[in-house]
Structure 1
Amino acid sequence: MAETLPLLTGSEVADWIRERIRVGRFVPGQRLVEVDIIRQTGTSRSKVREALQRLEGEGLVQIEEFRGASVKSTSLDEVRQIYRARVALEGICAADFARHGSAEQKASLRDLQAQLDRCVDERSPERFGRLNLEWHRLVVEGSGNRTIAELLKRLNVPIHRLLFESFYDEARLRRANADHQRMVALFLASDAEGAEAAMRDHIGDGFETLSKIESEFYR
């Protein structure tokens, strides 16, 4: 049975499409047929077109004359640019979280880290990937910078499909988690400078890993 939602605004339709791109329901190159989206969201053609134009502006959707809209493919060079932006933005968030994050937020991050540690021990890369997103979201949220949070939300959608089980083999899992453990210690010590440097290194290492396994995603 097709999913039916209450009448949505253009912004909400954009969120609906963006989430399906993020989780891989809509894949690069796939056509986004207006009639199908209207049927599934219960909204109007004008709202769907507004959403698609919004997503085109974000670089997630490509609209071509006579062909309509499709999910935009992301090149390795575009991923490189996204990671460079993430290095700067998440570095700032890490410093601000170390300085201004509440004791409750830091305790939550420590508890989340314990779950990540168990994922490594239990070799659960898919769950690690989901918790990793939550870990980074908590740092960004705890930084208090809403502008950066919104920017990162958009930046992370095109690369989310790459961060699944094939990205996290056992060695990569342990390396990424060691970075997390080091950063949690810096956050708890309120070491803003150290946390920013560690986050920058961590994000940079993530791109280097993707570069080495480029053939897995860009064939």
Structure 2
Amino acid sequence: MTTISAGPTDSPGVRHVKRPTPLRESVYEALTEMIIDGTLERGRHLVEVELAGMLGVSRQPVREALQRLNNEGWVDLRPGFGAMVHVPAEDEVDQLLAARAALESESARLAARHATKEDVAKLRDLCKVGAAFHDAGDIDGAVRTNGELHGLITEMSGNRFLVDFAGQVDRRVRWYYTPVAPVRGAASWREHTRLVKAISDSDEDKAAQIMREHTEHTRKAYHELQGGGEATEPVVAEKKAATRRRRTD
């Protein structure tokens, strides 16, 4: 992960990259994270000189990073117009989240088989941390902790190919999950708690089922947010809870 610092006089969205070698890698990492966390929103026209100023670098590493981001599907380069942050199509989201469901449900099943007491303790700690981030309104912290929990479960599977495959889709999943995190938050962490209990009980089938349902709820929440589907019960419940919290604040 690239370390990025912002000075007290910087305006929002301005991030200066430290200068390890190669610089183009640091710029690529910074721009990717800015897309994931929404600093560079979907559909935004990306101007090289503007990005270079935000990152405190020249245009050349920005140009190289944009080419790589285009190759990986984060950015669309259009002749005569320039670069734009990619806007995912609905079927693209479905395909990725379906792949994630298959990978992570199997990871959960194997984690339930291999989990140690220390593993379970780490998962429970992450659940507490993630729920605390959600309650505090720290969406970035909640999303980061969500990724750590899912990553740990995959590592616990003991299957290095699952770890490799999950790693390839992790960033894209975070990109899709970040917009729904405020809505999914509390329900998501309750589901995590149920999942950890199934893993602790060595109940392989239940762990796999809970994980598959968990990823499906996220998929439906994403589509609802985009106006493409009906609300799931966990999403409706969390929206009502959020409304109650706002009324009592």
TM range (shorter): 0.7 to 0.9
Counterpart residue identity of residue 108, structure 2: A
Normalised TM-score (structure 2): 0.70
* Residue number in structure 2 paired with 1:204: 216
The Cα offsets for residues 73-123 of structure 1, whole Å up to 9 and x where unpaired, read as: 123222222211111121232233333445433211112223455678x58
* Residue number in structure 2 paired with 1:89: 103
1:164 to 181, 193, 196: 181
Deviation (angstroms), 1:18: 0.8
Aligned pairs for 1:24-173 (under 5 A) are 24-43=38-57, 45-116=59-130, 126=139, 128-144=142-158, 145=160, 146-165=163-182, 167-168=183-184, 173=186
Higher relative contact order (CA 8 A, sep 6+): 1
The answer as to whether partners of 1:98 and 1:186 remain within 8 angstroms in 2 is yes
> Equivalents in 2 of 1:117, 1:20: separation in Å?
24
Q: Measured at CA, do residues 199 and 208 of structure 1 come closer, stay the same or move farther in structure 2, by a change above 3 Å?
A: same
Q: Measured at CA, do residues 101 and 56 of structure 1 come closer, stay the same or move farther in structure 2, by a change above 3 Å?
A: farther
Deviation (angstroms), 1:124: 5.1
2:226 to 210, 214, 218: 214
Counterpart residue identity of residue 149, structure 1: A
The answer as to whether partners of 1:125 and 1:173 remain within 8 angstroms in 2 is no
> Equivalents in 2 of 1:200, 1:70: separation in Å?
33
* Residue number in structure 1 paired with 2:205: 193
Deviation (angstroms), 1:186: 1.6
Per the alignment, in what secondary structure is the counterpart of residue 35 of structure 1? helix
Root mean square deviation, CA, Å: 3.0
> Equivalents in 2 of 1:74, 1:97: separation in Å?
31
The question of 1:180 aligning with 2:181 is answered: no
Per the alignment, in what secondary structure is the counterpart of residue 113 of structure 2? helix
Q: Measured at CA, do residues 40 and 117 of structure 1 come closer, stay the same or move farther in structure 2, by a change above 3 Å?
A: closer
Deviation (angstroms), 1:192: 3.1
The Cα offsets for residues 21-43 of structure 1, whole Å up to 9 and x where unpaired, read as: 11111001112222233334455
Normalised TM-score (structure 1): 0.79
Q: Measured at CA, do residues 154 and 129 of structure 1 come closer, stay the same or move farther in structure 2, by a change above 3 Å?
A: closer
